[in-house]
């Protein structure tokens, strides 16, 4: 019985080789699990970045679309006392410190029921591949009137506007550069093209609805 007990004791437990094999398998499984987890985390980060970028682009398109759709024929007086047309836009302005487009729009939200106009003057400016929306609190500006500037979208290569007159002619600026133009003060439609470094080109054609 003594020899049998000694034999059974020798057979219990693991040998050093078995422990090394088990540790190697465990290490391999751990590496594989970590690699899989790291891949999932990287994919999540990329997805969140893409969702943030998509939201940024959608917000930009939504703002431009809403502002253009609410354009009204209301000239304004700038901070220098000069009159400006209801819609001002030219490709020549881009990169020269002037807005790509400036317009008077209606439907200015007033949740606090403040004593002010329902009209608002807004503009879009492209600076160093960043698109900004500018808005003034007053229609006719004083010398100290400043615009509130909000960043909408980065990585913007270019932004272009085209204007359709009542005779179905397209113009790269508004009011048209042709001194013989005698049509309405507002275009019949406005087309804008937003060129992005990562998402390519986004184009929208927006007919203008006359608002009384």
3 occurs within a structural domain: no
151 occurs within a structural domain: yes
Residue 205's contacts (CB-CB under 8 Å, 6 or more residues apart) are 189, 190, 191
53 occurs within a structural domain: no
List the CATH number of the domain containing 84. 3.10.610.10
84-121 residue pLDDT tens: 999 999 877 665 668 999 999 998 776 666 666 789 99
Whole-angstrom distance, CA of residue 117 vs CA of residue 140: 11
Domain that holds residue 156: 65-207
Q: How many CB atoms lie within 10 A of CB 119?
A: 17
Number of domains the chain is built from: 1
113 occurs within a structural domain: yes
43 occurs within a structural domain: no
58 occurs within a structural domain: no
54-92 residue pLDDT tens: 999 999 999 999 999 999 999 999 988 999 999 999 877
Model confidence, pTM: 0.75
79 occurs within a structural domain: yes
CB 191 within 8 A of CB 130: no
């Amino acid at each position: 019985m003594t020899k049998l007990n000694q034999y059974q004791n020798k057979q219990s437990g693991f040998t050093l080789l078995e422990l090394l094999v088990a540790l190697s398998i465990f290490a391999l499984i751990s590496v594989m699990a970590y690699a899989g987890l790291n891949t999932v985390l990287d994919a999540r980060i990329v997805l969140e970045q893409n969702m943030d970028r998509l939201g940024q682009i959608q917000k930009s398109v939504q703002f431009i679309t809403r502002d253009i759709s609410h354009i009204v024929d209301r000239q304004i007086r700038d901070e220098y006392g000069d009159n400006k047309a209801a819609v001002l836009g030219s490709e020549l302005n881009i990169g020269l410190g002037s807005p790509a487009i400036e317009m008077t729009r209606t439907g200015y939200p007033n949740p606090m029921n403040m004593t002010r106009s329902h009209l608002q003057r807004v503009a879009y400016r492209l600076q160093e591949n960043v698109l900004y929306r500018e808005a003034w609190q007053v229609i006719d500006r004083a010398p100290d009137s400043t615009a509130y500037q909000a960043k909408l979208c980065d990585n913007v290569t270019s932004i272009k506007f085209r204007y359709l007159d009542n005779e179905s002619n397209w113009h790269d600026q508004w009011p048209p550069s042709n001194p013989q133009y005698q049509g309405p003060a507002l275009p019949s439609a406005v087309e804008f093209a937003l060129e992005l470094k990562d998402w390519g080109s986004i184009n929208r054609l927006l007919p203008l609805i006359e608002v009384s």
